């Protein structure tokens, strides 16, 4: 009998893990895509998922945890239906990223790293979105929005269902 709380990939997902591991001279090269697969399956990468993935790679859970916590693209708790990430690096900061972040805090009623109480939006600040020429910049799910103003931000947020 399996523990319902213990993460486990389907046989098809395990086959994909093995295929990905086989693409690299050292199977650890497949760790990031397998973590993406795990996040897709479970919604986020919990400590239990980290431990499960570590076992698939014969790594320590601590090593996998270091990878998960290093990258901003992995979530360690359930995220909202939409993820809104505002860049706060130098170019964006010079073009009022702090003002945009403050506006979103007021508008959403949450701080960076939190999810709105209705589960609609997870709000993050990130180090760089690589579009300095469009500063200030934010990523909304898979799309990028630049040259932000509070009004433009409001319009984008209103469009999220």
User: Residue 53 class from Cβ within 10 Å (0-12 exposed, 13-18 middle, 19+ buried)?
Assistant: buried
Residue 19, classed as helix, strand or coil, is helix
Walk me through the domains of the chain, giving residue ranges and CATH numbers: 11-70 (1.10.10), 82-158 (3.40.30.10)
List, as one string, the DSSP characters of 48-77.
Answer: HHHHHHHHHHT--HHHHHHHHHH-TT--SS
* Contact status, residue 13 vs residue 41, Cβ threshold 8 Å: yes
pLDDT tens, residue by residue, 128-147:
999 999 999 999 999 999 99
pLDDT tens, residue by residue, 25-64:
999 999 999 999 999 999 999 999 999 999 999 999 999 9
Looking at the chain, the number of H-run helices and the number of E-run strands are 7, 5
């Amino acid at each position: 009998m399996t523990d319902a709380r213990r993460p486990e990939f389907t046989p098809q997902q395990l086959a994909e893990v093995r295929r990905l591991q086989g693409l690299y001279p050292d199977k650890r090269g497949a760790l990031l895509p397998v973590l993406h697969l795990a996040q897709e399956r479970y919604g986020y990468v919990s400590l239990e998922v980290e431990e499960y993935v570590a076992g698939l790679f014969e790594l320590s859970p601590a090593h996998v945890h270091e990878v998960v916590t290093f990258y901003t693209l992995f979530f360690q708790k359930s995220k909202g239906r939409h993820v809104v990430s505002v860049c706060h690096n130098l170019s964006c900061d010079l073009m009022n990223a702090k003002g945009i972040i403050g506006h979103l805090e007021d508008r959403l009623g949450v701080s960076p790293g939190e999810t709105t109480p209705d589960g609609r939006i997870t709000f993050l600040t990130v180090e760089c979105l690589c579009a300095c020429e469009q500063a200030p910049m934010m990523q909304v799910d898979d799309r990028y929005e630049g040259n932000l103003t509070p009004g433009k931000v409001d319009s984008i947020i209103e469009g999220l269902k």
